[in-house]
């Protein structure tokens, strides 16, 4: 806001000195819009959309969704700087779940910024170092599992805010959005639903090839591991029913609501027991 006040003062000075009033008005309008608009920036943690974290920002307040693999702090700082923000602008760090590729830098980011870190209660064991239950969703998951990359331990993290209910309002952190408990990929997975229907869904779905991303990014798929596929279906259906229209994902994405519905139908068909 201070920035805008300074800008208005500068505009008045410009007008007094015969400056270009129309150009200046346009600049002020675009700056005002930038301060009231909610941006969702993808932070590329690996190239080609293979692994993403997200920065949601509005004006000078920002919420970080996921922290990437260990040592990802410079990538997060770069994303903040691209919005003319720094660590002090972070109001919340949020983990969609606690696999190493999403929570690997959480403890370091928590130390680096003054922002509290939020995770769901049911994800606490994974936050604190319990090996995740990894159920490969297909051939790539089985091969990937053998590499041991996903089972590597990472620095344990203790959340400051533990989500125990089904919904959590982000308005006090500067963002018009809700965090919803969306289990399935892991027991304590959460998604962020913005009021305009954009969703950050972590690993509730993926798109592309192999780990995700790379090519065919409009094509939905399961991530390499998925604990409870039918719980994933229920969680995705719920996000669709409350207005989810664009799904930003940890691997690949974004996906349209139509593609997510297609993925739900395929999972339901594959995993519903036949009688």
Positions touching Zn ion (CB under 5 A) are: 99, 101, 203, 250
In the complex with Zn ion, which residue's Cβ is closer, 173 or 227? 227
3-state secondary structure of 171: helix
CB of 115 to Zn ion, least distance (A): 22
Given the complex with Zn ion, which of 33 and 146 has the nearer CB atom?
Answer: 146
Query: In angstroms, what is the minimal distance from the CB of 250 to Zn ion?
Result: 4
Q: Which is nearer to Zn ion, 45 or 85 (CB)?
A: 45
Compute the least distance from the CB of residue 241 to Zn ion, in Å: 24
Residue 149 CB neighbour total at 10 angstroms? 12
Which CB sits closer to Zn ion, 89 or 123? 123
> Tokens representing 161?
């805010």
**Smallest separation (angstroms) from Zn ion to the CB of 160:** 22
Nearer to Zn ion, 134 or 266 (CB): 134
Say how far apart CA 25 and CA 23 lie, in whole Å.
Answer: 5
Beta bridge partners of residue 119, listed in sequence order: 162
Which runs of consecutive H residues, i.e. helices, occur in the chain? 2-16, 21-36, 73-82, 100-103, 106-112, 124-127, 139-147, 229-241, 257-271
Q: Tokens standing for 121?
A: 């209660």
Distance CA 117, CA 200 (A): 17
- What is the spatial distance between Cα 33 and Cα 109, in angstroms, rounded to a whole number? 29
Which of 101, 228 has the CB closer to Zn ion?
A: 101
CB of 12 to Zn ion, least distance (A): 51
CA angle (185, 188, 189) in 5-degree steps: 50
SS3 assignment, position 25: helix
Minimum distance between the CB of residue 144 and Zn ion, rounded to whole angstroms? 11
């Amino acid at each position: 806001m201070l920035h805008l006040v300074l800008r208005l003062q500068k505009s008045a000075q410009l007008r007094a000195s015969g400056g270009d009033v129309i150009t200046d008005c346009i600049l002020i309008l675009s700056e005002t819009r930038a301060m009231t608009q909610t941006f969702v920036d993808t932070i590329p943690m690996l190239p080609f959309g293979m692994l993403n974290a997200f920065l949601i920002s509005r004006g000078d307040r920002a919420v970080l969704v996921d922290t990437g693999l260990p040592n990802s702090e410079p990538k997060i700082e770069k994303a903040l700087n691209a919005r003319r923000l720094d660590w002090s602008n972070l109001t919340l760090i949020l983990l969609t779940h606690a696999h190493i590729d999403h929570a690997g830098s959480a403890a370091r980011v928590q130390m680096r910024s003054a922002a509290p870190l939020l995770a769901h209660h049911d994800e606490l064991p994974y936050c604190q170092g319990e090996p995740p239950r990894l159920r490969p969703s297909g051939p790539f998951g089985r091969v990937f599992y053998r590499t041991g990359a996903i089972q590597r331990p990472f620095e344990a993290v203790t959340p400051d805010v533990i989500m125990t209910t089904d919904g959590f309002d982000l308005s006090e952190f500067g963002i018009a959005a809700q965090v919803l408990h969306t289990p399935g990929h892991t027991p304590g997975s959460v998604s962020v639903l913005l009021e305009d229907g954009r969703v950050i869904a972590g690993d509730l779905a993926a798109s592309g090839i192999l780990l995700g991303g790379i090519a065919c990014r409009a094509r939905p798929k399961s991530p390499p591991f998925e604990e409870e596929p039918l719980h994933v279906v229920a969680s995705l259906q719920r996000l669709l029913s409350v207005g989810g229209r664009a799904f930003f994902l940890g691997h690949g994405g974004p996906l349209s609501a139509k593609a997510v519905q297609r993925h739900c139908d395929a999972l339901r068909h594959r995993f519903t027991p036949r009688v």
